[in-house]
Amino acid sequence: MSCIDCGDAVMKEAREIVEKIGSEPEKVIPLLQEIQNRHGYLSQDLVEAVAEVVEIPVSRLYGVATFYSQFRFTPMGKNLVKICKGTACHVGGAEKVYSIITEELGVGEGGTTADGLFTVEAVACLGCCSLAPVVMINDNIYGKISPAKMGKILKEYADGK
């Protein structure tokens, strides 16, 4: 097992991660979480380097990472747009708002815009049912959102809010 494309900096970081988290078999998820916490996603070179350091097949790390939806394999955009698809939001028109988001940004669920400004996620609930439909951008909640309002809000973020 060899991380052929991994440079010295990547191997150093992999060793730091393993030293911090541990190399026991039950540490696979925390190792992946640490990689993602550092970079916002699971970079292939760092996953391979960690696998080499802990001496487990890289396929084991990828098997776990692909099973759990918390892990990402591509960088996140600067602005994370979460559209609630819970019952109250669905009844309140979340699908129309979602359509505006995906049309305006040109990406679907889990996608990141080419310019790296936005990542779109549909979520089961944001816990703001009385404000349905709800969208969360980064740490900001937007309630009783209409498709027209959504377009304006996205433009504000695109312009550097």
Q: What are the structural domain ranges in the chain?
A: 8-67, 79-158
Mean pLDDT of 98-117: 92
Question: Residue 20, Cβ neighbours under 10 Å: how many?
Answer: 10
**Sheet architecture: strand order including 135-137:** 118-123, 79-84, 135-137, 140-142
% of the chain surpassing 90 pLDDT: 80
Angle separating helix axes 44-54 and 28-39, nearest 10 degrees: 150
Residues shown for the chain: 161
Mean pLDDT of 116-129: 92
Peptide bond preceding 133 in cis form (omega within 30 of 0): yes
Mean pLDDT of the chain: 91
Contact by Cβ (8 Å): 49, 32: no
Partnered with residue 135 across adjacent β-strands are 83, 142
Question: Band of the pLDDT at 64, cuts 50, 70, 90?
Answer: very high
Q: What per-residue confidence (pLDDT) applies to 68?
A: 87
Token pair of 89 as six digits? 């939001």
pLDDT tens digits, 18-56: 999 999 988 999 999 999 999 889 999 999 999 999 999
CATH superfamily of 79-158: Glutaredoxin (3.40.30.10)
Q: Is the pTM of this model over 0.95?
A: no
Token pair of 140 as six digits? 């900001």
